Amino acid sequence: MKVAVGTDHAGFPIKQSVIEAVEELGHEVIDVGTFTDAQSVDYPDFAYKVGKTILDGLAERGIIICGSGVGACIAANKMDGIYAAICHDTYSAHQGVEHDGMNVLCLGGRIVGPSLVYEIVQSFLNAQVEEAERHQKRRSKIKGIESGTYKGE
């Protein structure tokens, strides 16, 4: 699987741990930057680059890192077809894919240390979307909200 990885300056300290985890798990990294933490850069730029890489079909999933993961998550979720969540634990990292169709993992570089990164990334990348009817129904409602066609129940 191809995985787009992007980070701002605040997430940069764990970026190499994320890249190493992706590669150790047998996946290919598409690194969209930033390439240094020497200067402040804006997380929406890298959330967009990761999302665009997925939407263009160049990657199946993405990982975005900022200081807390919150800003990157908000920015990524503004893109149609990108389903991003902050996961600082292994359960959320796989459950978000399985039940909710999450395709972007957001991490807080100031929250998660390098020792936990591998386990979270592994949980995210090993998960597959479950096709159970209840999950499909819920994902369909999310897509309706996204497209503006959802009428509520």
Residue 99 annotated as catalytic: yes
State whether CATH 3.40.1400.10 applies to domain 2-147: yes
pLDDT of residue 60: 98
Strand ranges inside the chain, DSSP E: 2-7, 28-31, 61-66, 84-86, 104-108
What was the pLDDT predicted at 89? 98
Q: Which amino acid is at 108?
A: G
3-state secondary structure of 99: helix
Tell me which of 9, 66, 87, 106 is the catalytic residue. Answer: 66
| Domain residue spans of the chain | 2-147
Catalytic residue among 27, 88, 99, 135: 99
Q: For each of the chain's 153 residues, which pLDDT tens digit applies?
A: 999 999 999 999 999 999 999 999 999 999 999 999 999 999 999 999 999 999 999 999 999 999 999 999 999 999 999 999 999 999 999 999 999 999 999 999 999 999 899 999 999 999 999 999 999 999 999 999 989 899 987
pTM above 0.85, yes or no: yes
Question: 39 and 51 in contact (C-beta within 8 Å)?
Answer: no
pLDDT at residue 152, as a whole number: 86
Whether 87 is catalytic is: no
Do 91 and 50 form a contact (C-beta atoms < 8 A)?
no
